[in-house]
Amino acid sequence: MNRPDDVSLFTGGPLYKEVKRRLTDSLEAARWKPGEAIPPEPQLAARYGVSIGTLRKAIDELVAENVLLRQQGRGTFVASHRGEAMRFLFFSIIGQNGSRQYPEVRLERFQRARAGDAVAQSLSVAPRAPVLQFRNSLWLGGESVGVDDITVPAALFPGLSLTRLRERDNTIYHLYEHGFGISVMRIDETLRAVAAPADVAALLGLHAASPLLLVRRVAFTLNERPVEFRLSWVNTAMHEYRREAGS
Amino acid sequence: MNRPDDVSLFTGGPLYKEVKRRLTDSLEAARWKPGEAIPPEPQLAARYGVSIGTLRKAIDELVAENVLLRQQGRGTFVASHRGEAMRFLFFSIIGQNGSRQYPEVRLERFQRARAGDAVAQSLSVAPRAPVLQFRNSLWLGGESVGVDDITVPAALFPGLSLTRLRERDNTIYHLYEHGFGISVMRIDETLRAVAAPADVAALLGLHAASPLLLVRRVAFTLNERPVEFRLSWVNTAMHEYRREAGS
DNA sequence: TTCGATTTGTTCGTATGTATT
DNA sequence: TAATACATACGAACAAATCGA
């Protein structure tokens, strides 16, 4: 017996880490798509030639990383931006009473452009590489709370258009996933306080130079490829940015 | 055999969850102190009357929550603010190049006071309960980057004084832990952009009304008891607040 | 509604590997 | 080197949730 996926002769470290790598590779290759179930544990264990306990340890780590989702009696599913699960994983604005609510998003602008040096470096593309840029305004309870300036590499999003962005009926990351096979799995954010630029202030109905929270985000796929650069200006007069740490 | 800690007849859910509760209770009761090793796995498994696998599953979760720390060949240790491990778990300011460095802290003020309504609610103490308040300025590379206004319930920190704060040779949370048996294990932060108050601006060498990042922090112990309320004003001209999400 | 098949969750026990002292 | 302690891996049995016949 020597099935192609068999891992039992692997010698470069713990077996379960190798199994995890194989699973990750299959996920990156979209062998199983977001929202779909991966094969049952006994079947995967047999395929890789490991015990079910070893397989489960590999899956455990992917579940902890929000890459897979287990449901007893149903199966193990590839994380997707379709449902509610990832809805607030990447949206951190809350009301002053602590209420979490997803914003209404309005597309304000869409254009083709070329990457500046900073954006090119963040997105790991060549300077002046073609990119798509669009601006959204975010609304919570009828109030304008922020502006997102989003830049993505044009090569990764062929056919992304103003219409496509307008017609989506879900989050932007769901559109990336469903429309372009790009799954945002991790974000890296740095925050600072700045004076509002004139155009942003106008969109938010504020005086220019009002203090705004500026969030610089880079979004990554499972294989750590950066796929989106985003600057968000947030009016924190009536809302806040929340983060928990330690457990 | 019916040892007092035996858990084998427990019926209210998974055994390992009950074992985890017992471990947590022992940690709260300071049966094992920060920095110390808990008993070896076989010994704990015998004490609770469970298999070693079940015990390990309980410990796994506490390790994932940064409550315990495992070291192969040495033992399993209670998390402590003494070492480097928790150093950057609760300090999120980085340089513009992404460098993480721990700030120099200067005590600017220390006073006894009474809790206002907002602080009292955050700290779960009665309104006008006695509290201790102190202000620190934070310095990175010779530059003043922020001001912390810290409020703690006086009842939890008997004997905390200006001298005590000045003479510490480690982080404030290490002082809480070592001097008062209070271990901060989790923080909850909300962030907003504000115009600098005059006194803070002066300390930071900025014009009044410069935009500052205001971080409102509540710190909790293992049993979710709030033990510190903190407002931090951060000058994000040369530094940033960093957070990662998703994995 | 009931029942059986499927799938993950929990628990047990054992053996062996690896790091530390 | 020997003893100790956690890490990895195996396998088995039963429990609990889900789903369709």
Q: How far is the CA of A50 from the C1' of C17 (A)?
A: 17
Please determine, for residue B141, whether its predicted confidence score (pLDDT) is greater than 70: yes
Mean predicted confidence (pLDDT) in B198-225 = 96
| Average pLDDT along chain A, 247 residues, taken 10 residues at a time | 68 92 96 98 97 98 98 98 93 95 96 97 98 97 96 98 94 97 97 97 95 98 97 98 94
Facing B211 at nearest CB: one of A64, A195, A241: A195
Contact list, A200 vs chain B (CB under 8 Å) = none
State the nucleotide closest to A51 in CA–C1' terms.
Answer: D10
Are the beta carbons of B223 and B129 closer than 8 angstroms?
no
Residue A127: which of A118, A135, A136 has the closest Cα? A118
Q: What are the strands, taking DSSP E only, across B154-210?
A: 186-195
Provide the positions of strand D that have an atom within 7 A of a protein CB. 4-12, 16-19
* φ, ψ at B25 (rounded to 5°): -60, -45
In whole angstroms, how far apart are CA A63 and each of A24, A151, A244?
12, 29, 19
Contact list, A246 vs chain B (CB under 8 Å) = 65-66, 89-90, 184-187, 220
Contact list, A191 vs chain B (CB under 8 Å) = 191, 213, 236, 240-243
Cα(A77)–Cα(B238) distance, integer angstroms: 43
Cα(A119)–Cα(A117) distance, integer angstroms: 6
Q: According to the model, what pLDDT value does residue A3 have?
A: 59
Residue A164: which of A107, A116, A93, A215 has the closest Cα? A107
Task: Inspect the interface and report whether the beta carbons of A246 and B186 lie closer than 8 Å.
Answer: yes
- Residue closest to sugar C1' of D10 by CA: A51
CB A112 within 7 Å, strand C: no
Cα(B195)–Cα(A206) distance, integer angstroms: 14
Q: How confident is the model at residue B201 (pLDDT cuts 50, 70, 90)?
A: very high
Q: How confident is the model at residue B3 (pLDDT cuts 50, 70, 90)?
A: low
- Residue closest to sugar C1' of C10 by CA: B14
Q: Residue B32 is encoded by which pair of tokens?
A: 């094992």
pTM, entire model? 0.95
Please determine, for residue B1, whether its predicted confidence score (pLDDT) is greater than 90: no
pLDDT tens digit sequence for B50-107: 999 999 999 999 999 999 999 999 999 999 999 998 999 999 999 999 999 999 999 9
Q: How confident is the model at residue B10 (pLDDT cuts 50, 70, 90)?
A: confident
Residue A23: which of A13, A38, A11, A9 has the closest Cα? A38
A225 min Cα distance to partner chain B (Å): 14
Mean predicted confidence (pLDDT) in B145-169 = 96
Task: Inspect the interface and report whether the beta carbons of B193 and A190 lie closer than 8 Å.
Answer: no
Domains located in chain B, CATH noted: 4-78 (1.10.10.10), 84-241 (3.40.1410.10)
Contact list, A67 vs chain B (CB under 8 Å) = 247
Can you give the three-state secondary structure of A121-168, one letter per residue?
Answer: HHHCCCCCCEEEEEEEEEEECCEEEEEEEEEEEHHHCCCCCHHHHHHC
A1 min Cα distance to partner chain B (Å): 31
Task: Inspect the interface and report whether the beta carbons of B240 and A185 lie closer than 8 Å.
Answer: no
Facing A193 at nearest CB: one of B65, B66, B211: B211
* Percentage of chain B exceeding pLDDT 90: 94
Q: How confident is the model at residue B2 (pLDDT cuts 50, 70, 90)?
A: very low
Q: Is A75 left (phi over 0), alpha (psi -120 to 50) or beta?
A: left
Contact list, A186 vs chain B (CB under 8 Å) = 244-247
Tell me which DSSP letter residue B156 carries: G
Q: What are the strands, taking DSSP E only, across chain A?
A: 37-38, 68-71, 75-78, 93-95, 104-114, 130-140, 143-153, 186-195, 211-220, 226-234, 239-245
